């Protein structure tokens, strides 16, 4: 009898990251049908260490993946499990996004004294380090004040309890995965607050030269619906992405008749927003999803009147560590 193969899974060490890693571990074990073991390896990333400044000033999304990327390059781990919205739209050359887990609730939650943005007290202070969330809040309520909140889910809830803000916003996906959705005063509709691209999806990266048995095992965990959404939303972000820091959101969803998608870019203060929407008739292919994401990005760019060439473009600084 051959010895069971072990998949070494890399992850950040926060409660949410570990919950997501264990979810993937269970999923790959079940998909393999036996003969496969898993081992979880935790890493402290640069982004976990830098908590005194906004993400865009600290270096961006790559702060939460580069240690794991490097570990895969060195062969220290076989796969890495990430909240997809923490993953840069351009991966390190040695990596591929090999699987996407079924999407959890993609919406944002309001934590605090009110269940909706409209019900927040006049001039309320809302803690968030997300440019997207700040701009969308101010687009709804210019009287609100956004202050920087960094850290994982538990850290931000602690800061809220200590009175650093009157309310905060977290992804419903992370709260659900942690069994903490009861902390939410209300769940915001995608019409009120369009989610970040990839929100609610767990992405799994794999070395391009991984052995075939590992590629096959990881492939069995992939969810087709989540993959379509990931492709469309990341295509939108990729087409608009660059060095400039701009609030940006994208959300793709399947319907009974096909699929729909919305994407938007806002000014920092939320006083202007450029939005595009589109649909696909019939069951979309991966190619359809990619085309729709790119098309909506070009529509937004045309409305916003900036060049899609090599000049400055939007860069999404969404909050880390809330899925």
**pTM of the predicted protein model:** 0.90
CA-based torsion, 241, 286, 211, 205: positive or negative:
positive
Catalytic position from the list 48, 69, 78, 86: 86
* Mean pLDDT of the chain, nearest integer: 89
- pLDDT over 50 (residue 277): yes
pLDDT per position as a tens digit, 160-193: 999 999 999 999 999 999 999 999 999 999 999 9
- Architecture per CATH, domain 5-103+201-223, reads as 3-Layer(aba) Sandwich (3.40)
Among the listed ranges 55-69, 147-161, 288-302, which one has the minimum average pLDDT value? 55-69
The pLDDT confidence band at residue 143, using thresholds 50, 70 and 90, is: very high
> Inter-axis angle of helices 15-32 and 212-219, to 10 degrees?
100
pLDDT per position as a tens digit, 19-32: 999 999 999 999 99
pLDDT per position as a tens digit, 227-236: 999 999 999 9
Residues paired with 80 in a beta bridge = 10, 205
CATH number of 230-304: 3.30.160.40
Strand 125-127 with 145-147, pairing? parallel
The 3-class secondary structure across 87-142, one letter per residue, is: CCCCCCCCEEEEEECCCCCCCEEEECCCCCHHHCCCCCEEECCCHHHHHHHHHHCC
Whether 5-103+201-223 and 108-187 share one fold: the answer is: yes
Distance CA(54)–CA(297), nearest Å, equals 25
Predicted pLDDT at 319: 67
The pLDDT confidence band at residue 243, using thresholds 50, 70 and 90, is: very low
The answer to whether 216 is a known catalytic residue is no
Domain boundaries, the chain: 5-103+201-223, 108-187, 230-304
Q: How many CB atoms lie within 10 A of CB 279?
A: 12
CA-based torsion, 173, 175, 181, 187: positive or negative:
negative
CATH, domain 108-187, list 3.40.50.170, 3.40.190.10, 2.120.10.30, 3.40.50.300: 3.40.190.10
CB contact at 8 A, 196 and 316: yes
Q: What is the CA 320 to chain-centroid distance, rounded?
A: 8
- What 3-state DSSP class applies to 202? strand
Predicted pLDDT at 35: 85
Q: Write the burial class of residue 289 (CB in 10 Å: 0-12 exposed, 13-18 middle, 19+ buried).
A: buried
- pLDDT over 70 (residue 1): no
More confident position, 1 or 30: 30
Q: Distance of CA 182 to CAs 51, 176, 177, 185, 187, Å?
A: 26, 9, 12, 8, 11
Mention every residue, 6+ apart, whose C-beta is less than 8 A from residue 163. none
């Amino acid at each position: 009898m051959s010895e069971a193969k072990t998949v070494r899974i890399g992850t950040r060490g926060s409660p949410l990251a570990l919950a997501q890693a264990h979810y993937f571990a269970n999923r790959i074990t079940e998909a393999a049908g036996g003969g496969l073991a898993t081992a979880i390896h935790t890493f402290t990333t640069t982004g976990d260490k830098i908590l005194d400044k906004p993400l865009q000033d600290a270096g961006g999304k790559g702060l939460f993946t580069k240690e794991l990327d490097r570990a895969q390059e060195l062969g220290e781990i076989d796969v890495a499990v990430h909240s997809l919205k923490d993953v840069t739209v351009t991966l390190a050359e040695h990596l591929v996004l090999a699987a996407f887990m079924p999407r959890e609730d993609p919406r944002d939650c309001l934590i605090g004294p009110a269940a909706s943005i409209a019900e927040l007290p006049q001039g309320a202070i809302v803690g968030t380090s997300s440019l997207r969330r700040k701009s969308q809040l101010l687009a709804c309520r210019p009287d609100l004040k956004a202050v920087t909140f960094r850290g994982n889910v538990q850290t931000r809830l602690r800061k809220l309890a200590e009175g650093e803000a009157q309310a905060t916003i977290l992804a419903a996906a992370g709260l659900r995965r942690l069994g903490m959705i009861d902390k939410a005063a209300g769940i915001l509709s995608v019409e009120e607050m369009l989610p970040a691209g990839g929100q609610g999806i767990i992405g799994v990266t794999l070395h391009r030269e991984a052995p075939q048995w590992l590629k096959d095992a990881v492939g069995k965990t992939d969810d087709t619906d989540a993959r379509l959404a990931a492709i469309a939303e990341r295509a939108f972000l990729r087409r608009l992405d660059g060095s400039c820091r701009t609030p940006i959101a994208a959300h793709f969803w399947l319907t009974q008749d096909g699929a729909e998608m919305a994407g938007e870019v806002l000014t920092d203060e939320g006083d202007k927003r450029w939005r595009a929407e589109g649909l696909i008739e019939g069951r979309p292919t991966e190619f359809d999803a990619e085309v729709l994401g790119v098309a909506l990005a070009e529509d937004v760019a045309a409305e916003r009147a900036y060049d899609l060439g090599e000049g400055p473009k939007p860069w999404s600084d969404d909050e880390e560590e809330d899925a």
